């Protein structure tokens, strides 16, 4: 197995390093990608010195990006994002909701969230409430809620609401009927208790 090679980055490469960094990479990655695309070269003291200023600017940029991401994560924790989508009467979406959809919606309301930061196990294919992780780095992540709602009132939902309303009305009527019977039984018991006994009346007369 070929040993890793040491290269000086001429450009900032995500998940690898910033311009001016000296990194160790697989020989194949260096040979097939970094070197042919002029993204890195063999380091020398002169080349490292020449990239010193560019590296300082890159470090400042990374620090600024980190601060922005920290602020974004703090605001996103527990946030609920509402997405309106077209669907059939059973709530099945005509087009699934993907990482790109979520990213675009967040960016539109002021959250700078790249598609790669949206972590989904699978696209959403039905209306409903879901959870989603937004993660920039290992220690920078937040859980958000996503409500995927229909762009119209669904017939199935209307039928369910009508059924719920009918059940509620029936329950109210049953409660009223039970209350009425309870009141009638209580009245009858009161009359029965209040009726004088014959023995007592005879004693009083005597």
The mean per-residue pLDDT over the stretch 160-188 comes to 63
Look at residue 156 in the predicted model and tell me its pLDDT: 56
CA dist., res. 154 & res. 127, Å (int): 11
Residue 32, pLDDT above cutoff 80? yes
The mean per-residue pLDDT over the stretch 110-136 comes to 95
Residues 6+ apart with CB under 8 A from 22: 6, 7, 8, 9, 43, 48
Residue 134, pLDDT above cutoff 60? yes
Domains of the chain: 5-50 (3.40.5.10), 74-152 (3.10.430.100)
Angle at 78 between CA 73 and CA 81, to 5 degrees: 95
Judge residue 89's burial from the number of C-beta atoms within 10 Å of its C-beta, 0-12 exposed, 13-18 middle, 19 or more buried.
Answer: middle
Q: How many other CB atoms are found less than 10 A from the CB of residue 108?
A: 8
Query: Which of 118 and 200 is assigned the larger pLDDT?
Result: 118
Residue 190, pLDDT above cutoff 90? no
Look at residue 161 in the predicted model and tell me its pLDDT: 54
């Amino acid at each position: 197995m070929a040993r890793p090679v040491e290269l000086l980055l001429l450009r900032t490469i995500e998940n690898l390093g910033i311009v001016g960094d000296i990194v160790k990479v697989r020989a194949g990655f260096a040979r097939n990608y970094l070197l042919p695309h002029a993204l890195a070269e063999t380091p020398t003291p002169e080349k490292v010195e020449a990239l010193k200023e560019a590296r300082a600017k890159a470090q400042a940029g990374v620090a600024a990006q980190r601060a922005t991401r920290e602020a974004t994560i703090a605001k996103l924790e527990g946030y609920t994002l509402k997405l309106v989508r077209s669907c059939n009467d059973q709530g099945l979406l005509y087009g699934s909701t993907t990482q790109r959809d979520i990213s675009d919606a967040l960016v539109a309301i002021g959250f700078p969230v790249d598609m790669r930061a949206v972590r989904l196990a699978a696209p959403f294919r039905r209306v409903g409430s879901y959870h989603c992780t937004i993660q920039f780095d290992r220690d920078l992540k937040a859980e958000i809620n996503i409500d995927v709602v229909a762009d119209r009132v669904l017939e199935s939902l209307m039928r369910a609401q009508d059924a719920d309303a009918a059940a509620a009305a029936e329950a109210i009527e049953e409660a009223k009927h039970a209350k009425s019977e309870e009141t009638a039984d209580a009245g009858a018991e009161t009359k029965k208790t209040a009726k004088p006994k014959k023995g007592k009346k005879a004693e009083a007369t005597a």
